[in-house]
Amino acid sequence: MSILKAENSKKIGFCDSGVGGLTVYSKFRKLINSEDIIFYGDLKHSPYGNKSKEELISYSRNVFDFFKEQGVKAVVMACNTTSASTYPIIKNEYDFKIYPIIQSCAKIFANMGINKLGIFATESTINSGVYESEIHKYNSNVQIYSQSCPNWVNIVESNSQEDKGSVDIIKSDLDKMLANNPDKIILGCTHYPFLLDILCRYAPPDMFVDPADYFVNYIIEDLKNSDLIDNSFSHKGSEEFYVSANPDKFKVASKMFYNVSEVKLKELD
């Protein structure tokens, strides 16, 4: 077996604070199902969006050390919050490829021909200013309106999006953003696409951009260019789902988006 063959048959890690990463993984799986994957949801520390940078770096290192032990060939950071705050710090600490969602998609967003771009994201992502700085690297003319939605992740993780209180919160956050008259709004947290049904009751569906739609194509293209795709397409890739807490909660919330059959509990600290 050549070194290359051994490398491309290794697993791919996907991580997020919880079910949000499934909005990325489900789209990846639809395009390519011959890859073996490990998904890690850090529910013990969810939500990430209000944690300090130091805390987030420590969580990311734990998850990436776990992926390293598992011998992955690449990790998809299916989390905007860690892409913004921990990716720049830990990116050189591991010898596998890392795909951070914001940095991987920024060029595409910058060149969408949009003048006024709204960004919905967690407090941590918004405070980092990374969406602005990454997009402006490629196109400084895009006017960006950033807004945090501090309650949305908990609404998704608790599967309570149809409760009246939740709908009111989502609508009020959306109204604030719409007052800027954006051409499009990026759902800059992987949990937010779970709320599209509700958002689309109050704004046209083509107003919203789910970065996952672009991100998964970017990842697959790059894996191919790096000779890291498993070419045995007839083989159905295996899936393992781990969480640091509440496997049952993860299973229930995930149903909205992906059929997760078995969830294992794996604490990392």
Binding site for ligand DGL (CB under 6 A): 16-17, 20, 46-49, 79-81, 122, 125, 153, 189-191
Residue 153 Cβ vs ligand DGL, minimum distance, rounded to whole Å: 4
Record the tokens describing residue 23, joined without a space.
């909005």
Written as one letter, the residue type at 155 is: I
- Does 149 participate in catalysis according to the annotation? no
When the beta carbons of 66 and 131 are compared against ligand DGL, the nearer one is 131
**Residues 15, 79, 105, 149: which is the catalytic one?**
79
Q: How far is the CB of 190 from ligand DGL (least distance, A)?
A: 4
DSSP at 121? E
Q: Which is nearer to ligand DGL, 66 or 87 (CB)?
A: 87
How far is it, in rounded angstroms, from Cα 169 to Cα 244? 28
For 168, the enclosing helix (H) or strand (E) is helix 164-178
Q: Which is nearer to ligand DGL, 218 or 237 (CB)?
A: 218
Structure letter (DSSP) for residue 40: E
189 included as an active-site residue = yes
Backbone angles phi, psi at 123, to 5 degrees: -55, -45
190 or 254, CB closer to ligand DGL? 190
Considering 15, 149, 189, 200, which one is annotated as catalytic? 189
Which amino acid, 12?
I
Q: In a 10 Å sphere around its CB, with 0-12 CB exposed, 13-18 middle and 19+ buried, how is residue 269 labelled?
A: exposed
Least Å distance between CB 59 and ligand DGL?
A: 10
* Positions marked active-site: 79, 189
